[in-house]
A = this chain, B = another copy of it.
Amino acid sequence: MGRWVPGARGRLQRAAFDLFAERGFEQTTVAEIAARAELTERTFFRHFADKREVLFAGQEELTARIVVALAEAPAELSALDAAVVAVGASAEIFGDRPDGPRARQAVINAHPELRERELIKMEGLVAALSTGLEGRGVPGAAAALAASSAVAVFRMAFERWLRSDDGRDLGTCIREALGELRAVTAG
């Protein structure tokens, strides 16, 4: 047992998330977030590099999981297939209920500053996938394009998954989007 109320980081995340949803991102000050979490502004910045980062806390874990999945993908898969299978592993993290991710995405989509941060996180995922593919012997240029394509597929699939009200599987959405990408790039 610690001597302070434990879970400071989690409390900050929850407080930030709630306030962003209630009043919007810019209308919420870091001081307010900290106050709701019963902490100080300074403590917020010890846990998160900046105000936006609090919404992207799980990202490293997600990327790590995808990179592991890429390493474990069957060697006979093509670069693109392996990368797509890897991003599909994110389904384990997101689970079947899109409600949480949907609320989070709504906040992000409503604020350009947060979309910027999301994009650079995606770019980090592309880089990680690209490096992983090179580790599988894929040449640099092909690795970069396959990684980029896989993430594009993932983004489209993720968006559809969030939108769907029937209980569609994220993996299914991914396979569907991959098929559409192949149709578009064929020829």
How far does the alpha carbon of A146 sit from the alpha carbon of B181 in the complex, in Å? 8
Identify the closest chain B residue to A148 (Cβ): B152
Q: Which residues of B lie under 8 Å from residue A80 when comparing CB positions? A: 184-185, 187
Residues of B within 8 A of A141 (CB): 156, 177, 180
The reply on A60 being an interface residue by CB < 8 A is: no
A17-41 interface bits toward B, Cβ cutoff 8 Å, 1 = contact, 0 = none: 0000000000000000000000000
**Set of chain B residues within 8 Å of A183, measured between Cβ atoms:** 142
Q: Which residues of B contact A110 (CB under 8 A)?
A: none
Can you list 19 A-B pairs, Cβ within 8 angstroms, ordered by A? A80-B187, A112-B120, A116-B117, A116-B119, A116-B120, A141-B156, A141-B177, A141-B180, A142-B183, A145-B152, A145-B153, A145-B177, A146-B184, A149-B152, A149-B185, A181-B185, A182-B185, A185-B185, A186-B186
Chain A residues at the B interface, C-beta cutoff of 8 Å: 78-81, 112, 115-117, 119-120, 123, 141-142, 144-146, 148-149, 152-153, 156, 177, 180-187
